[in-house]
């Protein structure tokens, strides 16, 4: 739900200082990071193999909540990395598997996710069968200097995390979708039911206009 706009609301001068010059936003949808940026979405080609469709090099490559939809995260990330000029930056954000998927895969919030993401878990430590370590992915990029990897959880309420990993049934999920609609149209007063709802269904807090549950990674390409 407009994760780029929500993220930008928390940015300092640092983010704007590195995301300058020529740039491309991969998987931007209706929420590009800047209005005049080069936009690349599904109608422009396959982001898994973006170098088949884009030959230019950019001062920065930006992508928010797109990598989790790729067939092979390491391959796609390397493709995106090839678009970065020496001295430029790759900036990407992905959902945190514990805050977003909450122990369930395929993802309840978005069943088109092909992977889940963590910062520090070693292989075999994650509950997810498709977990990817962001630190490892970023460190494997050739001539890359990892500038930062951080968990962004602005306004996330951990008391609402669901410990029960049993997948809710079809009817419960439909009732939850109805509950999300009531939240959207009737306002915050419906959020008081959240602790009760979590007994039956995980709460997707990222549906709220001020809540993040993501990992942000910035890598600089050495000259």
- CATH for 18: 3.40.50.150
Q: Is 143 helix (H, G, I), strand (E, B) or coil?
A: coil
If asked whether residues 68 and 147 sit together in one domain, one would say: yes
**Do the beta carbons of residue 102 and residue 202 sit within 8 Å?**
yes
If asked whether residues 25 and 108 sit together in one domain, one would say: yes
If asked whether residues 140 and 89 sit together in one domain, one would say: yes
If asked whether residues 45 and 152 sit together in one domain, one would say: yes
State which residues form the domain around 71. Answer: 3-157+206-221
Taking the C-alpha atoms of residue 96 and residue 32, their distance in angstroms, rounded to an integer, is 21
If asked whether residues 117 and 80 sit together in one domain, one would say: yes
Look at residue 179 in the predicted model and tell me its pLDDT.
Answer: 85
Taking the C-alpha atoms of residue 117 and residue 1, their distance in angstroms, rounded to an integer, is 18
If asked whether residues 111 and 184 sit together in one domain, one would say: no
Taking the C-alpha atoms of residue 131 and residue 125, their distance in angstroms, rounded to an integer, is 9
Smallest CA-to-CA distance from 205 within 150, 149, 162, 151 is with: 162
If asked whether residues 22 and 74 sit together in one domain, one would say: yes
Residues 121-150 have pLDDT tens digits of: 988 999 999 999 999 999 999 999 999 999
E strand residue ranges, 11-164: 23-26, 38-40, 58-64, 84-95, 116-118, 131-133, 144-152
Q: What are phi and psi of 124, to 5 degrees?
A: 90, -10
Number of domains in the chain: 2
Per the listing, tokens 């422009």 go with 44
Q: What value does the mean pLDDT of the chain take?
A: 94
Smallest CA-to-CA distance from 220 within 168, 147, 129, 167 is with: 147
**Do the beta carbons of residue 152 and residue 212 sit within 8 Å?**
yes
Residues of the chain with pLDDT under 50: none
Smallest CA-to-CA distance from 92 within 132, 54, 43 is with: 132
Q: Both tokens of residue 146? A: 């990892």
pTM: 0.95
Q: Both tokens of residue 94? A: 């992905």
If asked whether residues 22 and 55 sit together in one domain, one would say: yes
If asked whether residues 70 and 29 sit together in one domain, one would say: yes
Taking the C-alpha atoms of residue 203 and residue 208, their distance in angstroms, rounded to an integer, is 11
If asked whether residues 183 and 123 sit together in one domain, one would say: no
If asked whether residues 148 and 195 sit together in one domain, one would say: no
If asked whether residues 138 and 194 sit together in one domain, one would say: no
Look at residue 138 in the predicted model and tell me its pLDDT.
Answer: 98
């Amino acid at each position: 739900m407009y994760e780029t706009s929500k993220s930008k609301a928390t940015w300092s001068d640092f983010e704007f200082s590195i995301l300058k010059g020529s740039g491309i936003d991969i998987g931007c949808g209706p929420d590009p990071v800047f209005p005049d940026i080069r936009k690349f979405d599904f109608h422009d080609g396959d982001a898994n193999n973006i170098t088949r469709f884009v030959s230019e090099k950019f001062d920065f490559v930006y992508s928010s909540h797109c990598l989790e939809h790729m067939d092979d995260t390491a391959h796609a990330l390397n493709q995106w990395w090839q678009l970065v000029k020496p001295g430029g930056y790759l900036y990407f954000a992905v959902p945190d598997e514990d805050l977003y998927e909450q122990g369930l895969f395929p993802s309840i919030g978005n069943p088109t996710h092909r992977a889940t993401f963590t910062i520090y878990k070693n292989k075999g430590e994650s509950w997810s069968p498709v977990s990817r370590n962001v630190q490892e992915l970023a460190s494997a990029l050739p001539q890359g200097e990892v500038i930062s990897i951080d968990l962004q959880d602005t306004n996330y309420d951990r008391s609402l995390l669901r410990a029960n990993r049993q997948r809710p049934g079809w009817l419960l999920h439909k009732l939850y979708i109805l509950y999300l609609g009531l939240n959207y149209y009737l306002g915050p007063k419906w959020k008081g039911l959240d602790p009760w709802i979590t007994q039956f269904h995980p709460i997707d807090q990222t549906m709220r206009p001020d809540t993040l549950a993501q990992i942000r990674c910035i890598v600089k390409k050495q000259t």
